[in-house]
Structure 1
Amino acid sequence: MLSFMRKISCKIILLMLLVATMGSSMLGAQTSASAATPSPTWISAKPERVAEDLNDAAQLSAFTDGIMNVHIDNFQIPGAVISIVKDGKILFAKGYGQSNIEEGTLVDPETSLFRIASTTKLFTWTAVMQLVEQGKIDLDTDVNTYLKTVKIPKTYLQPITMRHLMTHTAGFEEGGVGYQITTDPKKLPVSISETLAKHMPARVRPSGEMMSYSNYGASLAGLIVEEVSGIAYNDYIDKNIFVPLEMEYATVQEPVPASLEPYAVLGYARENGQFATRPLTFEGGFRPAGSGSVSANDMAHFMIAHLQDGRYGDKQILKPETAQLMHSPSFVFNKRLPAMDLGFYEMNMNGLRVISHAGSDELFNTAAYLVPDKQIGIFVSYSGGDGGAAAGGLAQAFFDRYFPLQEVKLSPESTVLENSLQKYAGSYQFTRRNHSDIDKFFNFLVKISITVSDNRLSIGSGADQQVYAPIGPDLFQEVGGTNQMGFRTDAAGKVTYLFLDLLNPMPLEPTPLIDQTKFWLPLLGISVALFITVLTGFAYRRREIKAMPKVQKWAVRLSAATAAWALVTFAATFLVVLNMNLIDRLSRITPSLNLYLFMPILFVGLTLAMIALSVLAWKNKYWTLLKRVHYSLVALSAVVSSLFFYHWNLLGWHFG
């Protein structure tokens, strides 16, 4: 839940962390585009392979053991578990590593409870659909109709419906600094309604317009389940999902009930070459979005029920037509790209339609993949290490072995080749971001840059570069791969949204210049340079300054104080605030953050004083012309810096 963007595959991580590349991200550099249009070329996918027999138990066991053991070593994972189902039965289930290193307890697929973070949402969405089929919830009715303790403001004419919540198209901004999680079990339990009322994010786009993955939206759906059914969320999930599916080692309660506590897998982090336990993170009032703890075998029961249209054994948790509706596209970015179903997001794995959901926090990484057409489901979860990359690698290896992609050759459409691709180039930012609170600043460096060269689009550079060639209007496919990207454009042909199938359901949109690093970093760089000249000049001209008239002397001293405070504030902004520990950032407002926020305010006060003295300097002709110009430029740099703090919500205490 905390790091949803890490959980699909290693390539996603590379895409999202392009900001770590100083040259392209920090300076916003763009590769120059080629306007030349080459002759049509073929885009070849992976070479044809022969599928292995999935029903060969020995072969499946050897293959899975090999993948999991390698991942545990390479990604430094202390414990992992997997279950694979097919045709209504558990085909394979096994634990790897240890659930408690200190006690030497091995991971057991039947009883070991792994935290599944955002995969919990599948329980919430299933509960919603149960109430839909009972006629208690309508997918397309204003959610305020069902809410009793919380009301969503009518920011836009379009109301938010349950369909919008389930497809992440409600239009909420993202939030979380200081309140999304807690590491203190003594603060639990927490009321869902009180939490959602206290920390309601702003609506930043009309509902139904575009996806923006939202933990708040899922939690709101859980609250509706609670208030419509008249049963507490935890109890509803247990009674209507876990009990009928015989999920005895499953809970959404935080911390886990005492009866299940002996089976809870501990979370670990790598420290000095060894694994060290870390406190679990709890969702509290956001638990419908991420509080689940489940064993692999119990999750297999849940997957079987969904693959069999709601049936598990002689129990039916959803009617067939309800389950089929839940698994059908409900929001489509482009008909040739994976859609968003009701709660599940679609993936294309070697030509197969996969419905999926993953989950991630600082200690656990989980993923569930269902292939309805093949009656196959895969659940995998990892405690610690880089489990997000491991899960994506496991899934791709599985499909490559048992459902290898047959060689496909796609010819770019001539209508696309005739047009310039320049309109697609530029910086893009995720729709899932904050606009109103201090959270906004943590997206300052999170951008993806697309460049054009040789009539193709590129993301990243060097060994991490992904190149896409056009295959249709606003549609591109990875050269030598199967990943695709699509764009939406307005009536004038201007790009409005970018969709990468690897990042469903988190599309992007063009980054306005004022949000780009290439706008701010040069300005801040020039300002820093001017501030440094002030301090060096102040050091070298001490005698001259001392001999100045009193007002001029204080004006120079003010410029030095402003410059010094600016440099200290910038250092704190990037080295302290931007690098805050994620757990600290989302669980509490730290004293250091509260203290830091005084710094930009004091800096603005110094800036205003410098502006006033700049006016006096020109009016009364202080110093030489060159020195007055320099003084004014320093004041202007202070204004620019103040605007930076204001724009990124660092001016004052903007907490959600």
Structure 2
Amino acid sequence: MFERRIRLLGAVALVVTLLSAPLVATATPVPDSTATPPAHVSTPTEQVALTNQTETGAWLDETMAHQLEEYNVPGAAVVIVSDGEVVLAKGYGYAALDSQRPVDANETVFSVGSTGKLVTWTAVMQGVEDGRLERDRDVNEYLTDSAVTVPDTDDEPITLNHLATHSAGFEDIFRGMVTDDPDEIRPMDEILAAHRPARVRPPGQFVAYSNYGTALAGHVLAEQSNANFTELVDERIFTPLGMADTTYAQPLPARLEPRRAIGYTHQNGEYQAHDPVIWTLPPEGGSLRTTPIDMGQFMLAHLNEGEYGSERILEAETVREMHQRQFTKSEAVPELNGMAYGFIEMDRNDETIVGHWGDTPRFKSLLALYPERDTGLFVVYNSPGGGPARFELLQAFTDRYYPRSDTPVVEPPDGAAERARDLTGDYRSLTVSASSWERVLGVMTRTYTVGATEEGYLTTSRLGEPTRRWVERRQGVYEEVGGSDTLVFRFDEDGRATHMFRHAFGPATYERVPWYESLTVLQAVLGGGVVAFLSVLLLWVGGPVWRRWRGGDLPTGRERAARWLLGVVSLLWLAVLVIFLLAWINFDAEAASPSFALQTGKVLRWIALAGTVGAVVATGFAWRDGFWTRWARLHFSVVTALALLFAWQLSLLGILPL
């Protein structure tokens, strides 16, 4: 889930743009690509030996000390494994600030979020190995005794292969994932049946990350095994690997609770502690809690082709298959990161890297395997600042131990300016909701605005990120200036860019949206609507005062009714906007337990829409019967038109599901 402070920043930015309508894309300066790298990040020029534990520990100590301060994180832990051994396992900062309890990589229990999905997919592949499951079989065939079904909305069925590569074609939803009430934790099939996302595209077409898809795969395994999922994983993964401090239990068992890392947010210069999240999506959704050293043992098993000590959890060929690409996002650019089997490709510096990252409201984690180097990296943080910190650590680690061999592109080639202009526009992640107000989260935070400079560079901007600059490496492929990421574009038969992919973010596809769905149009329409509605309210209140001061005929009953109608409509639309903005700011809480305000907003939006239709009718009467002055009629008409456009944009945001 997206960090609360990013949503707060976004909401404030949106309110500002509604009143002034500047472009978000031009608000953030382009970073200086020639800036010197921070001291804690090694320049990728000379490889350092990972086997030198003293040197590795010193570098990591410096790096993590910087990260905790830079990203406002109380505590973190890192585990590095290589050549079948744990190179180091270290804790940094505090697991609990009030008692000054330090993080211990061997003892502290962290929530790791979706990084735990790798356990789910390991268990699924165990089911494939023993013949209980088939990767390319319709999952509905495994659900005959379950309340869960996948609707047959496409000719091609959804299979485990689609679920493992996040290409099943589900919309993104949050409802049903978390709750404030432990009593709402229900059996797996009930949750999956009650909160089934819509199928919005054919399977196998695009990658779009899905929490539901992995939960469904775990349920398929449990159904086919006639067993509880957590019991299966305990018996077949955690016990053989000696992961004694790893559990899905909510709340934590009494023996682990004193070792639990507290989750924090940083606001106004202070840390605020939070209670653990209560997950209602089945265990494989996000409730895995573990120690860093336990995750190190999981990494060792995968790097050693399924074997850990005298135990084997998977056959060697199965492990190699899980680490190999299963979904290619761009046939024209095969080096672009895609999806392995449950693992996300994270290649950097031409190094093969597979793994996963996890997000909860307070905890951020990342597990990365370098199979060809027999090396693994795991890191976890107990504050939202760990989100960017983990990827910075991954890049710094790769730069230091496996540095880049080629030379970055600096100058755009001939004709780059024209090609860059053809790529400009807004590109939105396919990982968005299509059926609820939650869509506003994806539209506002998962949309990239692509621009072009006169020199031929591309620029990208997104809410919560600085503007980045990109240089063309070849047609449709752009390298980040001063960075390590790559943008790749897909074109249709007419040569028009239709989709965009980020190399550093494998499980996502960004679709180019039409001009009328761009953030610029959104800001203009909503901003114009706010100004118009406020003008109506001002006239609504000031009109009688003006007449008493200047004199004039009293309006007829029909004229008063029309003005009251538009005034109420204006007030309702402003209330709806404010309610859903606040719901976005407090998204985690609203997803867990919708507030009375949000429920009220869902009713008011329909009343506002009905009132807008009534205002359209009143506009016709005003011109036919000559209400007020010509200028007053024109104002009434413009506000009514903007109310219609306002409703249209809210429908594109999912706030008004038309």
Is TM (by shorter chain) over 0.5? yes
Q: Does 1:247 align with 2:247?
A: no
Q: Separation in 1 of the partners of 2:505 and 2:246?
A: 28
AA partner of residue 54 (structure 2): A
Match in the other structure for 1:61: 57
**Does the aligned pair in 2 maintain the 1:47–1:407 contact within 8 Å?**
no
1:548 aligns to what SS in structure 2?
coil
Residue 566 (structure 2) aligned to one of 554, 559, 569: 559
The alpha-carbon deviation at position 590 of structure 1 amounts to 0.8
Residue 617 (structure 2) aligned to one of 612, 615, 631: 612
Cα deviations by residue, 1:238-266 (Å, 9 ceiling, x for unpaired): 11100111111111222223333333222
Q: Does 1:449 align with 2:419?
A: no
The alpha-carbon deviation at position 631 of structure 1 amounts to 2.5
Q: Does 1:577 align with 2:586?
A: no
Q: Which runs of 5+ in 1 are unaligned?
A: 7-12, 32-45
**Does the aligned pair in 2 maintain the 1:416–1:472 contact within 8 Å?**
no
AA partner of residue 162 (structure 1): L
**Does the aligned pair in 1 maintain the 2:3–2:361 contact within 8 Å?**
no
Q: Does 1:465 align with 2:487?
A: no
Cα deviations by residue, 1:45-75 (Å, 9 ceiling, x for unpaired): x976222221112111211112122222232
Match in the other structure for 2:493: 491
User: What aligned pairs does 1:318-337 form with structure 2 within 5 A after superposition?
Assistant: 318-334=314-330, 335-337=334-336
**Does the aligned pair in 2 maintain the 1:572–1:596 contact within 8 Å?**
yes
Cα deviations by residue, 1:576-627 (Å, 9 ceiling, x for unpaired): 2332x13212201111111222322222232233223222223323333333
Cα deviations by residue, 1:257-292 (Å, 9 ceiling, x for unpaired): 333333322222335644342111122233212111
User: What aligned pairs does 1:118-267 form with structure 2 within 5 A after superposition?
Assistant: 118-147=114-143, 148-149=145-146, 150-177=148-175, 179-188=176-185, 190-267=186-263
2:319 aligns to what SS in structure 1?
helix
The alpha-carbon deviation at position 119 of structure 1 amounts to 0.4
Distance 1:418 1:616, change over 3 A: closer
Match in the other structure for 1:9: none
Q: Separation in 2 of the partners of 1:19 and 1:425?
A: 26
Distance 1:545 1:603, change over 3 A: farther
Distance 1:626 1:470, change over 3 A: same
Q: Separation in 2 of the partners of 1:504 and 1:327?
A: 14
Q: Separation in 2 of the partners of 1:545 and 1:136?
A: 85
Cα deviations by residue, 1:512-547 (Å, 9 ceiling, x for unpaired): 334222223323333333334433444144446762
**Does the aligned pair in 2 maintain the 1:268–1:275 contact within 8 Å?**
yes
**Does the aligned pair in 2 maintain the 1:545–1:556 contact within 8 Å?**
no
**Does the aligned pair in 1 maintain the 2:43–2:399 contact within 8 Å?**
no
User: What aligned pairs does 1:334-413 form with structure 2 within 5 A after superposition?
Assistant: 334=330, 335-408=334-407
Cα deviations by residue, 1:137-185 (Å, 9 ceiling, x for unpaired): 11111111112311100111111110110000000000114x3212433
Match in the other structure for 1:475: 477
Match in the other structure for 1:509: 511
Match in the other structure for 1:70: 66
1:62 aligns to what SS in structure 2?
helix
Residue 639 (structure 1) aligned to one of 632, 637, 644: 644
1:285 aligns to what SS in structure 2?
coil
Q: Does 1:99 align with 2:95?
A: yes
Distance 1:628 1:305, change over 3 A: same
Match in the other structure for 1:305: 301
Distance 1:533 1:389, change over 3 A: closer
User: What aligned pairs does 1:17-28 form with structure 2 within 5 A after superposition?
Assistant: 27-28=22-23
Q: Separation in 2 of the partners of 1:478 and 1:19?
A: 29
Q: Separation in 1 of the partners of 2:523 and 2:198?
A: 28
Moved more, 602-611 or 364-373: 602-611
Match in the other structure for 2:608: 603
The sequence identity of aligned pairs, in percent, is 30
Distance 1:602 1:387, change over 3 A: same
Residues paired across the two proteins, number:
627
Match in the other structure for 2:29: none
1:93 aligns to what SS in structure 2?
strand
Match in the other structure for 1:38: none
Moved more, 212-221 or 479-488: 479-488
**Does the aligned pair in 1 maintain the 2:326–2:341 contact within 8 Å?**
yes
2:178 aligns to what SS in structure 1?
coil
Match in the other structure for 1:35: none
AA partner of residue 180 (structure 1): M
Cα deviations by residue, 1:472-519 (Å, 9 ceiling, x for unpaired): 342222234332111111222222211011222112111233422222
2:327 aligns to what SS in structure 1?
coil
Instruction: Compute the RMSD of aligned alpha carbons.
Output: 3.0
Q: Separation in 2 of the partners of 1:592 and 1:561?
A: 18
Match in the other structure for 1:550: 557
The alpha-carbon deviation at position 410 of structure 1 amounts to 5.6
Q: Separation in 2 of the partners of 1:269 and 1:595?
A: 29
AA partner of residue 505 (structure 2): L
Q: Which runs of 5+ in 2 are unaligned?
A: 27-41
The alpha-carbon deviation at position 463 of structure 1 amounts to 10
User: What aligned pairs does 1:280-299 form with structure 2 within 5 A after superposition?
Assistant: 280-299=276-295
Residue 586 (structure 1) aligned to one of 588, 591, 596: 591
**Does the aligned pair in 2 maintain the 1:116–1:359 contact within 8 Å?**
yes
AA partner of residue 448 (structure 1): Y
Q: Separation in 2 of the partners of 1:558 and 1:4?
A: 39
The alpha-carbon deviation at position 232 of structure 1 amounts to 0.7
The alpha-carbon deviation at position 191 of structure 1 amounts to 1.2
AA partner of residue 527 (structure 1): G
1:578 aligns to what SS in structure 2?
helix
Distance 1:18 1:342, change over 3 A: farther
1:251 aligns to what SS in structure 2?
coil
Moved more, 75-84 or 274-283: 274-283
Moved more, 499-508 or 525-534: 525-534
Moved more, 547-556 or 367-376: 547-556
Q: Separation in 2 of the partners of 1:163 and 1:463?
A: 33
Cα deviations by residue, 1:2-27 (Å, 9 ceiling, x for unpaired): 24999xxxxxx99x979959779965
AA partner of residue 178 (structure 2): I
The alpha-carbon deviation at position 103 of structure 1 amounts to 3.6
Distance 1:294 1:143, change over 3 A: same
Residue 530 (structure 1) aligned to one of 524, 528, 532: 532
1:602 aligns to what SS in structure 2?
helix
**Does the aligned pair in 1 maintain the 2:583–2:590 contact within 8 Å?**
no
Q: Separation in 2 of the partners of 1:48 and 1:110?
A: 31
Q: Separation in 2 of the partners of 1:455 and 1:379?
A: 39
AA partner of residue 577 (structure 1): A
Match in the other structure for 1:269: 265
Residue 117 (structure 1) aligned to one of 104, 110, 113: 113
Distance 1:413 1:322, change over 3 A: farther
Distance 1:403 1:520, change over 3 A: closer
The alpha-carbon deviation at position 102 of structure 1 amounts to 3.4
AA partner of residue 326 (structure 1): M
Q: Does 1:500 align with 2:502?
A: yes
**Does the aligned pair in 2 maintain the 1:30–1:426 contact within 8 Å?**
no
**Does the aligned pair in 2 maintain the 1:128–1:221 contact within 8 Å?**
yes
